[in-house]
Structure 1
């Protein structure tokens, strides 16, 4: 169940909702709620989790939900969102940690560099980053990749920008658009979209976006810094001995395995919906068992534990405790993200239950503003105001979920709207974005250089992905 489904369920359980307020008043309440949310997060520096919960409770009370039903609505939105998102983020974080500590990122970069040749080293690093960024968050993945980028830049010479900017473009695209990253996953879940379909649309949109706005633009920007030195923050890269590394194909298998399972599920769901296969077809039944995104990531993570961690260390004592510590280390940094995601779902449930969504949809129709454009602009505004792409995607998804539900969007059309929203959530990165400072510091950029590189690439990726998502929406809607 999604936030968009909460209203009829709550009504069937006897929830008393107050709809005496008119459409104008409901829209005004929504706008004030968004403004208060931005002030709390951006100006007062309140944690997004607390801000979202407080605004959700306040909005419910002001909009007229009965006092004794307010907590039920908030908890329903929070719980139903976490039921899906927590598993996706948790399994994705553990899978990324396994790839990190096994030396898998090093294997991918080295092998792709040999395959592409030294003249195409920037492309090799960008492709390696693209693959590595699938299950791992941008900040952790980029930091792990940096020592390898340093080593390649020192060995081949030339400007450090030529090697690092294409990698930044790849990480930004994957982080911005593709599940299981938290922003796209949360927006898809809150809006009731199938995560597998969102992943397919994100790749259709994201791969050309990466090539032109992430890779080609990065090379063009690098020409403005012909002698940029390699930073010495880490000294020489910590490269594992050859005997300690997993095979290239083992790492590729672990990273692409969940993608294959998810696509398998999406394919057979589509075939069943069109009548090409029956509901009792064994392949369709199997896809329903192993293809849903949480199960696919669970299977892939368990497989990676065996292939990347247990088998290379066979005969070592205390493996159970070691795996437990690994999982704890992977999950600890994502707890905040999981809570923020749940709070965004609670906010969306309140908007649904109050009827604000229907009013917003009517307002968009009256303005002639397409829902894709509206979602993108809402996400951009929140991103600029408070900095976090995850919070922007989660909050914008919560705001737009009632509207898309009222419009009856589903399938590829709904997935295109989700991708447009998360594209908006990555644009215009500046001083209030933690990624802005993280990338700038580890790459040795000053503030102006970070604005001219990281911020430009992020904005270009968001703009191009939005335009492609809008084009796809016009075709399938």
Structure 2
């Protein structure tokens, strides 16, 4: 602690109080890192205990700590937890109905061998809009294997674009948990963040996906195609039949008749919440009259909760019923989607509690003073903090939550555009160099049958390319917008 205090004093020699608060923040983060990485404690518990350490060192009374943490937890779950649940429902309907496979098959059927990496990036980006990263990986691996086998291409040539598409969407584009938490913590405009996120995501995906895949292919060398994860998805004949006749009956595992939803309906359903939220942001800018009927309508249907709720209701028809699901099957599918995301909701909620503890203890103000003293851009500071926490904990969500809480005071007084860019900068930092302390690292390693070294050369470097390219695009945008 003495060393940390001396370091803080060196940075902020004008304020012992700021030095103590900075030390409290560092110790709180250190406790979270140790509990997650060394003791393998669940991030929810680690964030809760880290909040207690931070408050104790900062001198916050116990009763105020409990109030701050519970207030932050409740506010975050209220604003973000509902959206995570609705997103999980939409993703589950997309996966179980066969809609994701139809998108993949349709795009691949219209792609030549040279354009297959670009097609995989497009597929991953479309499928990744409503799906969590881990679900997207499980869903896309059979398609990646099929494409590599059919096109006689190295696995990395098509695998990296698919992974890049999922990762870029996960880190930069709402309604994924990380960006949603940062939007809530920084009080950013979701529509503006979504628009700028897509603007940054497209060139980032191009560089980290199809272009970097050729480099990764040389670094990793030839890989043996892994065994099929899903025989139906990797059966060329079955895929050809699905493309030729998407409505062809396909008995489901539960005995219900199964059809595939159409490509157009699936695509429209996935893009519906995105279009509604972007429409709201556009009308707010162009009309800018809260009493105007078009703006009032779009303010309602374009709010994140209503947009995702409408998408889920539409998906029950365009995906569930179109696939031959009974009402009971649709109900069971949506119910099954909530169990796996319960842990994510609690982690996000605890992150909100940690963030509120940072704010109420005055740590945010101390960091703001420190950034002003050293003349560091708020965007760069947010990115650097997220990078450090990502490297230490391996969790992009924890890195986003913590960094957003630390730099939240810097967002006060920012324009909606710059606040949105700060959200994206934090999201970009949270993707930096995934390694052995990240569950995603092992997921990719096992599914693609790579060694640890090969995974570091491909997946880990790809994540770093995404992070660096994104912040390299965000910084100039902050000067232009």
User: Residues of 1 paired with 2:219 and 2:390: CA distance?
Assistant: 28
Structure 2 residue 144 is the aligned partner of structure 1 residue 155: no
Q: 1:446: which partner in 2?
A: 451
Give 1:279 shift.
1.8
Give 1:51 shift.
1.3
Q: 1:470: which partner in 2?
A: 475
Q: 1:433: which partner in 2?
A: 438
For the aligned residue pairs, the C-alpha RMSD in angstroms reads 1.9
Among 60, 63, 67, the alignment partner of 1:68 is: 63
The number of residues matched between the two structures is 447
Structure 2 residue 135 is the aligned partner of structure 1 residue 120: no
The TM-score with structure 2 as length reference comes to: 0.89
Structure 2 residue 94 is the aligned partner of structure 1 residue 99: yes
Structure 2 residue 296 is the aligned partner of structure 1 residue 289: no
Give 1:106 shift.
1.4
Q: 1:308: which partner in 2?
A: 319
Among 253, 271, 276, the alignment partner of 1:261 is: 276
Q: 1:396: which partner in 2?
A: 403
The TM-score with structure 1 as length reference comes to: 0.89
Q: 1:187: which partner in 2?
A: 182
Q: Kindly tell me: are residues 277 and 158 of structure 1, through their superposed partners in 2, closer, same or farther at Cα, counting changes over 3 Å?
A: closer
1:126-165, CA deviations, whole angstroms, 9 ceiling, x for partnerless residues? 2111100011011111211111222222222132222212
User: Residues of 2 paired with 1:214 and 1:417: CA distance?
Assistant: 24
Among 331, 335, 348, the alignment partner of 2:342 is: 335
Correspondences of 1:61-460 after superposition (within 5 Å): 61-224=56-219, 227-234=222-229, 236-238=231-233, 239=238, 241=242, 242=246, 243=248, 244-271=259-286, 276-313=287-324, 316=326, 319=327, 321-405=328-412, 408-460=413-465
Q: 1:9: which partner in 2?
A: none
Give 1:233 shift.
4.5
Unaligned runs of 5+ in 1: 1-19
Give 1:184 shift.
1.2
User: Residues of 2 paired with 1:126 and 1:278: CA distance?
Assistant: 39
Contact 1:105 1:132 in 2 (8 A): yes
Q: 1:13: which partner in 2?
A: none
Secondary structure at the residue paired with 2:110?
helix
Secondary structure at the residue paired with 1:136?
coil
1:294-344, CA deviations, whole angstroms, 9 ceiling, x for partnerless residues? 211110111011111124427x4xx2x322321222111111111111111
Give 1:437 shift.
0.7
User: Residues of 2 paired with 1:87 and 1:45: CA distance?
Assistant: 28
User: Residues of 2 paired with 1:258 and 1:304: CA distance?
Assistant: 11
Among 37, 41, 44, the alignment partner of 2:39 is: 44
Contact 2:220 2:458 in 1 (8 A): no
Give 1:227 shift.
3.9
Contact 1:159 1:225 in 2 (8 A): no
Give 1:56 shift.
1.6
Contact 2:385 2:403 in 1 (8 A): yes
User: Residues of 2 paired with 1:21 and 1:322: CA distance?
Assistant: 61
Bigger drift between 193-202 and 115-124 goes to 115-124
Contact 2:27 2:53 in 1 (8 A): no
Q: 2:252: which partner in 1?
A: none
User: Residues of 1 paired with 2:479 and 2:32: CA distance?
Assistant: 32
Q: 1:8: which partner in 2?
A: none
Give 1:223 shift.
4.0
User: Residues of 1 paired with 2:119 and 2:455: CA distance?
Assistant: 23
User: Residues of 2 paired with 1:124 and 1:56: CA distance?
Assistant: 44
User: Residues of 1 paired with 2:106 and 2:182: CA distance?
Assistant: 35
Q: 1:4: which partner in 2?
A: none
User: Residues of 2 paired with 1:471 and 1:417: CA distance?
Assistant: 13
1:409-447, CA deviations, whole angstroms, 9 ceiling, x for partnerless residues? 240101111111111111111111111110111111111
Secondary structure at the residue paired with 1:313?
coil
User: Residues of 2 paired with 1:196 and 1:449: CA distance?
Assistant: 38
User: Residues of 2 paired with 1:235 and 1:270: CA distance?
Assistant: 46
